A and B are shown apart, each in its own frame.
Chain A
């Protein structure tokens, strides 16, 4: 049988269709084609350049001791300490911001996607979100400062020597940061809810469950990976922001407690994050320890890249398999990822 088949198998040479050659295109298309190539390559070069340059500079100046030492006021780079306070500050501000933005954002998205009644309110909320997403963070910062320097909100922040409320503290910075992260979390949650099939909702309604129970127990658990990726995106946004830190956190050298008490005092106190530390110590800032700035910038870049990788992992795991099975794959991706 096999020999019979091989004897009969006289396969004619495979013919390839003639490819369209760029040379035959009109001049404008050829120019556009070349420009597309060049911009693509240029972008790769820039991205690679940032990582490579920061890697070289950062690794050269990065010392393990810098992770544990507090910064100290010195014009000499060997005596200006490390950046443990800014790292701690970054973590603290991000934690406060996300702790507020994640529940609020998920709730907003659930309301917009599942209820959105009355319609005029839903429209208003949507445009409000769009507006917030477009506001420059420095505008948010100065608005936050305006609000939190009101006397009755003085318990949240540091007071100046003469008793005026500065509005500057980790808590107030975290609150303003949450506004920055909110649109990202709402967008990714809403998109995922819109993609869930209606038969999932109907299955739950048919069991006599309310809309609220359905959302809480079926829909939101089903889109956990999307919520997670929205949260991670929001974290990246908070970690990378400098304007709010400079204005509302004070961007002081060290994290300073408001009244000396360890936890509450620190939350009400001022401090700095990696972004403000890099800014202050850069050749453009006052600190003049650019070696430390490079090292800190490298750490910051690594944190943001790690978060980006996390998002890619969350969303890719979802997209790759959602082609065949939709939300089932998303759940599977979640299960696989958590293992």
Chain B
């Protein structure tokens, strides 16, 4: 008797995006995407300026002549296909590209008018903090993960003790801002590695927030997470923009549409289009942007 053959049947028709109606508005986009309703931030001011930046790894120029503003009170999303240089650009904002041997930069990046290459690198990274694609909590307790950002830092007076009343308040506050406090408050001494992926990522955000950065860089923070955790973190990002300037790199166009105020579309190292998210998604001026946001490539 021959073994049974397993057949794979298609239960659904493949998804075909409906044609976009002309003149769609942001409130009711014709393609069915829903935007979180929120009031525009009242205090928008520029924090970082990227001016004519070129970035190279060895001989390869991976970012070519990009100029962008980073404003507090706004979320800036960098979108683009793989290899478009968006993560490299993001990493250059707190000089994390320097960890890689052979990285070079030309052009100017400034934070509050000061060229970041002139700033002490660790001072800069305390002001411009970063959250990575993969949740990367340290192998220690939840409390220690957040407290680590503060101990021995100037904000904490350079003190080495992990258990001071101020520090405990600061840790709780950071966890609260990251929306994690209620879930972990019962046992802050638990290992951070026992948290779920979404909780770990929020812990990483709490850790980054604990040092009270001025700019928060998020490198595809939800790509390793489930939809529920993603929704929690997106809500958090929108809340945080009031106090921190946020730059988020994402592959997920819907996510960019949901969280960003301004969107920069990069392709093969070049900035193709920059504008408000309504403009980039609904009335892209460039053909390549139109192709990308409509799913023709990417």
**What residues of chain A have their CB less than 8 Å away from a CB belonging to chain B?**
10, 12, 197, 199-210, 213, 217-218, 221-222, 327-328, 330-332, 335
Extra pairs beyond A203-B137, A328-B139 (4, CB < 8 Å): A199-B134, A203-B138, A206-B130, A207-B148
A221 engages B208 (CB within 8 Å): no
Nearest A-chain residue to B154, judged by Cβ: A208
**From residue 180 to 237 of chain B, which have CB atoms closer than 8 A to chain A?**
191, 193, 204, 207-208, 211
A331 engages B134 (CB within 8 Å): no
Q: Which residues of B contact A327 (CB under 8 A)?
A: 139
B136 engages A203 (CB within 8 Å): yes
Shortest CB-to-CB span from B175 to chain A, Å, is 16
CA A210 – CA B131 in complex, angstroms? 17
Q: Which residues of A contact B211 (CB under 8 A)?
A: 207-208
Nearest B-chain residue to A221, judged by Cβ: B140
A206 engages B138 (CB within 8 Å): no
Question: Does residue B68 face the partner (Cβ distance < 8 Å to A)?
Answer: no
Q: Contact check: which of B125, B134, B140, B153 meets A206 at CB < 8 Å?
A: B125
CA A332 – CA B194 in complex, angstroms? 10
B193 engages A207 (CB within 8 Å): no
A207 engages B138 (CB within 8 Å): no
Q: Contact check: which of A204, A210, A335 meets B138 at CB < 8 Å?
A: A204
A207 engages B149 (CB within 8 Å): yes
Question: Does residue B8 face the partner (Cβ distance < 8 Å to A)?
Answer: no
Shortest CB-to-CB span from B229 to chain A, Å, is 18
Nearest A-chain residue to B152, judged by Cβ: A213
Q: Which residues of B contact A210 (CB under 8 A)?
A: 122
CA A206 – CA B96 in complex, angstroms? 7
A222 engages B139 (CB within 8 Å): yes
A199 engages B132 (CB within 8 Å): yes
Chain B 54-93: CB-based contact to A (< 8 A → 1; otherwise 0): 0000000000000000000000000000000000000000
CA A221 – CA B137 in complex, angstroms? 14
CA A335 – CA B131 in complex, angstroms? 27
Q: Which residues of B contact A197 (CB under 8 A)?
A: 136
B122 engages A209 (CB within 8 Å): yes
**What residues of chain B have their CB less than 8 Å away from a CB belonging to chain A?**
1, 94, 96, 99, 122-127, 129-132, 134, 136-140, 148-149, 151-153, 191, 193, 204, 207-208, 211
CA A204 – CA B130 in complex, angstroms? 10
Can you offer 28 A-B residue contacts whose CB atoms are under 8 A?
Answer: A197-B136, A199-B132, A200-B136, A200-B138, A202-B99, A202-B136, A203-B132, A205-B96, A206-B129, A206-B130, A206-B132, A206-B208, A207-B126, A207-B129, A207-B149, A207-B211, A208-B123, A208-B124, A208-B125, A208-B129, A208-B153, A222-B138, A330-B139, A331-B139, A331-B191, A331-B193, A332-B191, A335-B191
Q: Which residues of A contact B124 (CB under 8 A)?
A: 208
Of A12, A201, A203, A328, chain B has the most CB atoms within 10 Å of the CB of A203
Known contacts A207-B211, A221-B139; is-contact A202 B96 (Cβ 8 Å):
yes
A332 engages B129 (CB within 8 Å): no
A332 engages B193 (CB within 8 Å): yes
Known contacts A199-B134, A202-B99; is-contact A207 B139 (Cβ 8 Å):
no
Q: Which residues of A contact B137 (CB under 8 A)?
A: 203
Q: Which residues of B contact A206 (CB under 8 A)?
A: 94, 96, 125, 129-132, 208
Q: Contact check: which of A12, A205, A222, A331 meets B125 at CB < 8 Å?
A: A205
Of B126, B148, B208, chain A has the most CB atoms within 10 Å of the CB of B148
Of B125, B126, B134, B138, chain A has the most CB atoms within 10 Å of the CB of B138
CA A327 – CA B211 in complex, angstroms? 26
A203 engages B204 (CB within 8 Å): yes
A218 engages B148 (CB within 8 Å): yes
Q: Which residues of B contact A201 (CB under 8 A)?
A: 99
CA A12 – CA B137 in complex, angstroms? 52
Shortest CB-to-CB span from B121 to chain A, Å, is 8
Q: Which residues of B contact A335 (CB under 8 A)?
A: 191
B130 engages A10 (CB within 8 Å): no
Shortest CB-to-CB span from A105 to chain B, Å, is 22
Q: Which residues of B contact A205 (CB under 8 A)?
A: 96, 99, 125
B126 engages A208 (CB within 8 Å): yes
Q: Which residues of A contact B130 (CB under 8 A)?
A: 206
CA A314 – CA B214 in complex, angstroms? 43
CA A203 – CA B99 in complex, angstroms? 12
CA A221 – CA B148 in complex, angstroms? 13
Shortest CB-to-CB span from A220 to chain B, Å, is 11
Of B136, B149, B191, chain A has the most CB atoms within 10 Å of the CB of B136
Nearest B-chain residue to A209, judged by Cβ: B122
Shortest CB-to-CB span from A254 to chain B, Å, is 46
Q: Which residues of A contact B193 (CB under 8 A)?
A: 328, 331-332
Q: Which residues of A contact B139 (CB under 8 A)?
A: 221-222, 327-328, 330-331
Shortest CB-to-CB span from B89 to chain A, Å, is 15
Nearest B-chain residue to A11, judged by Cβ: B1
Nearest A-chain residue to B150, judged by Cβ: A207
Q: Which residues of A contact B152 (CB under 8 A)?
A: 213
A207 engages B208 (CB within 8 Å): yes
CA A207 – CA B132 in complex, angstroms? 12
Q: Which residues of A contact B148 (CB under 8 A)?
A: 204, 207, 209, 217-218
